Amino acid sequence: MRPEASGVGTKSEKPSSIDVSRVDEALLADLLANTTELLSLYNRDFRLTHYAARLKGLYGDAVVPGAAIWEIYPSFLDTRCRDEFLRVFQGGSAASIELPRSSGEAPRSVFVFGTANGVGIIESQGQGGRSAAEEQEHLILLHQATHDVLTGLQNRRRFGERLQEALAAIGGPKPKAALLQIDLDDFKSVNDTLGHGAGDTLLQLAAGRIRDALQDGESAYRYAGDEFAVIQLGKEQPVEAERLAGTLVKAFKDPFVINGIPVFVGSSIGIAFGPEHGTDGEQLMKAADIALYAAKTDGRGCARTFNRSMLLLLEQRENLRRSLRTALERGELYIEYQPLIRPPSSVIGFEALLRWRHPEIGIIPPSVFIPIAEADGLMDEIGRWVLEQACRQALAWPSWLTVAVNLSPAQFLSGSLTDTVAQIIDAVGIRADRIELEITETVLLEKTIDNIDTLNTLNVLGIRISLDDFGTYYSSLSYLKNFPFDTLKIDQYFIKDLEIDLKSQTIVRSIIKLAHGLGISVTAEGVETSAQARWLVEEHCDCLQGNFLGVPLGAEATSDFIRRSPSKGGRALEESNRAL
Ligand code: C2E
Ligand code: MG
Ligand code: MG
C-alpha cells in the first residue's frame, strides 16, 4: 500500500476512501503493530484515531490517540499543504503532498487519502528501497537523534525544528503558538547533595509529570539539563498556555520520592507567544527565557508571561551588573553594624551588613545586589573586603565585642576561604574569637564534605560559626548534628508574628530547646517590638537582634552607640523587662 512518490499534489489512482469501522479491530491492531508503513488515521475532527507503532517510534509523545493532525504534521498548518489536504479531506481523490522542509532536511512527502471516518496519511520513507532491517535501523537512529535518552522526551534538536515549523505555520486556522520554558527550582542542590544518579531519577520523574499534564496539541521537550519546554499549537490563547502552566506548577508541588527520600523541587515557567513575542524560534525562546527569569526572581514556583516591561527590568539589572563591577574600587560599598544584645541589656557584638551607595540610584539593599555579585563571580572578592573591613572596624571597639560577618556560598566554593580568613586575621591583628561567621544552609547544600572540613578548620582557628536564617530553608537537623555551630539564628519570619501566632511560638520554643540541648546558643533576628523581646527573654533566647534593639548603623554611629553604653538597645530591653 505504499504510495508512489508522485510529486506535489499529483492525483493518484488509488481508491480514495476506505471504511475503517468495517475493518476487524483485532486485525487492524495487528496490522498497525507490524506494518513498516508510517501510517496514521484521523477522524473528521482531524484527531488521531489509529496509528502504526512505528509512527510513535518516530514522533514520540506527539503520537497519542486524539492528537490533532498538525501536532504530528505541523506542515498542515502551512497554507499550501492545508489547501491540498482539505481538498482530499472534503472528498477529493488521494494525493501525495510534499511537505515544506527546513534547510538540510531530506525531502519529505505524505500520501493523503480519504476514509469513511476522516482521512489517512502514509508518510513516504525516502527513496532507495531500504530493506526492512535497514528501515528499522534507520528509524532507531532517527529516534535517537530526536529524543533525549534519559527522559524519552523529544530533544533540543527536535525542539528547534518543531518550534520553527510551528512558527511557520502560524496564520492558519489557529493564529498563535505558545512556548513554555520550564526550569526546575533547586535541581542543582539535589544533584550536589544526593548525587547524579538521584539527579537523573529526578529528571525522569519530572519529565513524567510534564508528560502527564499534556493534552492534545501540546508536546514536551527536554531542552538542556533541567530545562524543559512545551510547545502548544492550535489552542485558544493566552488562556490555554496559562492553564497548562498552572497545572505544571501544581504538579511540582508534591515531593518527588527518590531512593525513599522525599525531595521538594518546584518548577518555574516562562511563557511567550508567537508571533507577537517572536516570529522566529530564537526570538521566541529569548522572550520565554526572559519571562522565566521573571518567574525565578518573583520567588520561583510560579509562571510568568513575557511582556515588554520585563525587558526594562532586565536592562536595569544589566546596568547594575556593570556598575557593580566597579563599585568596590569606587568606594561605593560600605558596611553598617547592627547590635546583638544579650538580655537583660548587654551589647555583645554587631553584625556587619553590606550596603551599596549607587551614585544615581541611591542605597541598594544586599538582597538586590548580592545575588548579582554571586552570579557574576564578584562575591568572593567583595566578601573578602567585607571581612577585612569589619575586622578592622571591630579593632576600634572594646575588645569584648564581637563582629559577625555573613559568608556567601561563593566564598566557600572558592576553596581558599580558610586561608583568606587566616590571612585577614593576621593582617588585621584581631583575636579570632571576636569573629563570628554567619552561613546559611545553601552553603551546606553544595559540596557538603569539603564544607564540613572548612567549618572545622575555621573552628580550630577559634572562629565562631553561626547558622543564619534558620527555619526557612531545609532546616535539616543533620546539619546540626554534623557541623560545629556555635550559634543558631532564628529567621525573622518566625519572630514577626510571635505575638499572635501560636504555631510560631511553638516552633521558636522548640528551636530554642533543641539548640540548647545541643549546646548551641540562639539568636532571634528581626525583633521589632517589646512584646516579642519579652516573650523571647522568657523563653531563654540567648541573644536578640532587631530594629527594636538597634537598627544597623554606619561605622561612626556604631562607635557612638557603644560609647553611650549601656546602649539604647540595652535600655529598651531593660525597660521591657521591667514591664514584665
Ligand atoms: P541576614 O544576615 O539575616 O541579616 C539580617 C537582616 O535583617 C538585615 O537585612 C537586617 O537589616 C534585617 N533586620 C534587622 N533587624 C530587623 C527588624 O527588626 N525588622 C526587619 N524587617 N528587618 C531587620 P539586610 O541588611 O537587608 O541584609 C539582608 C541579607 O543580605 C542578610 O540577611 C544577609 O544574608 C545578606 N548580607 C548582608 N550583608 C552581607 C555580606 O556582607 N555578605 C553576604 N554574603 N551576605 C550579606
Ligand atoms: Mg546574617
Ligand atoms: Mg538572617
| DSSP string computed for 351-378 | EEEEEEEETTTEEE-HHHHHHHHHHTT-
Cα separation of 9 and 79, whole Å? 14
The closest ligand to the CA of 545 turns out to be 1
Which of 284, 306, 328 is the last residue in one of the domains?
Answer: 306
- H-helix or E-strand spanning residue 381: helix 379-395
CATH number, residue 108: 3.30.450.20
Q: How many domains does the chain have?
A: 3
The one-letter code for the residue type at 226 is D
Which of 96, 127, 146 is the last residue in one of the domains?
Answer: 146
- Asked whether the predicted pLDDT for residue 18 surpasses 80, the reply is no
Question: Ligand 1 within 6 A of 411 CB?
Answer: no
- Asked whether the predicted pLDDT for residue 223 surpasses 80, the reply is yes
* Full domain range(s) for residue 167: 156-306
Q: Tell me, what's the pLDDT at 1?
A: 37
Over range 181-201, report the average pLDDT.
88
Using the atom order of ligand 1, give the atom closest to the CA of residue 354.
Answer: 38
Atom 46, ligand 1: residue with shortest CA distance = 406
Q: Tell me, what's the pLDDT at 87?
A: 83
Atom 17, ligand 1: residue with shortest CA distance = 526
Do 193 and 326 belong together in one domain?
no
In a domain, 257, yes or no: yes
Do 112 and 179 belong together in one domain?
no
Q: Number of helices and strands (H, E) in the chain?
A: 23, 23
Do 463 and 509 belong together in one domain?
yes
Q: Which of 34-48, 229-243, 247-261, 497-511 bottoms out in mean pLDDT, i.e. has the lowest?
A: 34-48
Q: Tell me, what's the pLDDT at 328?
A: 92
- Asked whether the predicted pLDDT for residue 144 surpasses 80, the reply is no
Do 351 and 448 belong together in one domain?
yes
Q: Tell me, what's the pLDDT at 568?
A: 45
The verdict on whether omega for the bond into residue 366 sits within 30 degrees of 0, i.e. cis, is no
Atom 25, ligand 1: residue with shortest CA distance = 353
Do 69 and 34 belong together in one domain?
yes
- Asked whether the predicted pLDDT for residue 133 surpasses 90, the reply is no
Enumerate residues 6+ apart whose C-beta is below 8 A from 239: none
- DSSP string covering 37-75, please? SEEEEEETTSBEEEE-HHHHHHHGGG--TT-BHHHH-GG
Residue-wise pLDDT tens digits, 348-378: 999 999 999 999 889 999 998 998 898 888 9
Backbone angles phi, psi at 560, to 5 degrees: -60, -45
CATH number, residue 294: 3.30.70.270
Cα separation of 235 and 237, whole Å? 6
Strands (E), 376-510: 402-406, 435-439, 464-470, 487-490
In a domain, 330, yes or no: yes
Q: What angle do CA 246, 442, 247 make, to 5 degrees?
A: 10
Read off the C-alpha cell for 488. Answer: 543558631
Cα separation of 366 and 28, whole Å? 67
Q: Are 438 and 404 in contact (CB under 8 A)?
A: yes
Over range 450-474, report the average pLDDT.
88
Read off the C-alpha cell for 382. Answer: 567583595
Atom 3, ligand 1: residue with shortest CA distance = 469
Read off the C-alpha cell for 107. Answer: 525531502
In a domain, 225, yes or no: yes
Q: Which residues on adjacent β-strands are paired with residue 41?
A: 50, 120
The closest ligand to the CA of 385 turns out to be 1
Q: Tell me, what's the pLDDT at 238?
A: 93
Q: Are 332 and 561 in contact (CB under 8 A)?
A: no
Q: Tell me how far CA of residue 391 lies from CA of 403, 415, 433, in angstroms.
A: 7, 21, 11
Over range 106-110, report the average pLDDT.
76
To the nearest 10 degrees (0 to 180), the angle between helices 308-327 and 281-297 is 70
- Asked whether the predicted pLDDT for residue 13 surpasses 50, the reply is no
Over range 223-228, report the average pLDDT.
91
Do 164 and 142 belong together in one domain?
no
Calculate Rg over the CA atoms of the chain. 32
Do 196 and 111 belong together in one domain?
no
In a domain, 78, yes or no: yes
Given pLDDT bands bounded at 50, 70 and 90, which one contains residue 413? confident
In a domain, 312, yes or no: no
The edge-to-edge listing of strands for the beta sheet with 227-233 is 218-224, 227-233, 177-184, 267-274, 303-305
Between the CA of 367 and the centroid of ligand 2 the distance, in Å, is 12
Atom 9, ligand 1: residue with shortest CA distance = 353
Read off the C-alpha cell for 527. Answer: 525583633
Among residues of the chain, what percentage have pLDDT more than 70? 87
Render the burial of 169-186: b for 16+ CB within 10 Å, e for the rest. bbebebebbbbbbbbbbb
Given pLDDT bands bounded at 50, 70 and 90, which one contains residue 4? very low
Cα separation of 376 and 372, whole Å? 6
Do 24 and 80 belong together in one domain?
yes
Question: Ligand 1 within 6 A of 409 CB?
Answer: no
- Asked whether the predicted pLDDT for residue 101 surpasses 80, the reply is no
Cα separation of 194 and 255, whole Å? 15
Q: Which of 82-91, 126-135, 433-442, 525-534 bottoms out in mean pLDDT, i.e. has the lowest?
A: 126-135
Do 237 and 339 belong together in one domain?
no
- End-to-end CA distance of the chain: give it in Å, rounded: 93
Over range 142-169, report the average pLDDT.
86
Over range 127-152, report the average pLDDT.
71
Do 301 and 336 belong together in one domain?
no
Q: Tell me, what's the pLDDT at 38?
A: 87
Do 221 and 359 belong together in one domain?
no
CATH number, residue 401: 3.20.20.450
Given pLDDT bands bounded at 50, 70 and 90, which one contains residue 580? very low
In a domain, 565, yes or no: yes
Question: Ligand 1 within 6 A of 388 CB?
Answer: no
Enumerate residues 6+ apart whose C-beta is below 8 A from 329: none
Over range 200-229, report the average pLDDT.
93
Q: Tell me, what's the pLDDT at 477?
A: 83
Do 334 and 300 belong together in one domain?
no
Using the atom order of ligand 1, give the atom closest to the CA of residue 491.
Answer: 3
Burial class (CB in 10 A: 0-12, 13-18, 19+), 35: middle
Q: Tell me, what's the pLDDT at 130?
A: 59
To the nearest 10 degrees (0 to 180), the angle between helices 568-578 and 530-538 is 70
Given pLDDT bands bounded at 50, 70 and 90, which one contains residue 7? very low
Q: What is the pTM of this model?
A: 0.64
Given pLDDT bands bounded at 50, 70 and 90, which one contains residue 126? low
Which of 146, 165, 194 is the last residue in one of the domains?
Answer: 146
In a domain, 311, yes or no: no
Read off the C-alpha cell for 146. Answer: 530526536
Between the CA of 489 and the centroid of ligand 2 the distance, in Å, is 8
- Asked whether the predicted pLDDT for residue 462 surpasses 60, the reply is yes
In a domain, 151, yes or no: no
Residue-wise pLDDT tens digits, 20-76: 555 567 777 777 887 778 889 998 888 999 999 888 888 888 888 888 888 888 888
Q: Are 177 and 170 in contact (CB under 8 A)?
A: yes
Our CA dihedral for 535, 540, 543, 545, rounded to 10 degrees, sits at -10
Q: Are 225 and 148 in contact (CB under 8 A)?
A: no
Mean pLDDT of the residues in the chain: 86
Question: Ligand 1 within 6 A of 572 CB?
Answer: no
Q: Tell me, what's the pLDDT at 415?
A: 79
- Asked whether the predicted pLDDT for residue 246 surpasses 90, the reply is yes
